[in-house]
Amino acid sequence: MKSERYKIGWDKLAKIDGTLGERTVEALKDISPDFADLLIEFPFGDVYSRPGLDLKSREIATVAALTAMGTAMPQLKVHVHGALNVGCSPQEIIEVMIQMAVYAGFPAALNGLFVAKEVFDERDIKISNGQGRW
């Protein structure tokens, strides 16, 4: 029997990441089923379910943090998909990554942009050029 936190977390995960999130949890069950449960309960059941920020704002913050870390490209890819799933536009995602160049450096932003490009290509999203140039 799963906890209420788990049920709430699973619902949030499904809204954000869909099948990508489910695949991550399933892959963890062979390694550490306890960690898979914690992954659902804490970030998604406790944090993502808090009032105060909508899912779009939470995903923008997550994309920014993962981009700035520069060491979590698989997780960034999942959350770029998630950001799109909850209403972020491709341009918003790109702008967040450009903003991270100021605080995390150009390599982190560059790696993030390449991850975003992979996701956009997978989804057949075309990016218009010419916006935001100086």
Enumerate the domain spans of the chain. Answer: 1-50, 54-134
* Full-model pTM: 0.89
**CA–CA gap between residue 92 and residue 94 (Å, rounded):** 5
* Average pLDDT of the chain to the nearest whole number: 93
Q: What is the pLDDT of residues 63-92, one digit of tens each?
A: 999 999 999 999 999 999 999 999 999 999
**CA–CA gap between residue 6 and residue 58 (Å, rounded):** 19
Q: Does domain 54-134 have CATH number 3.30.1390.10?
A: no
Q: What is the pLDDT of residues 35-66, one digit of tens each?
A: 999 999 999 999 999 999 999 999 999 999 99
**CA–CA gap between residue 34 and residue 20 (Å, rounded):** 19
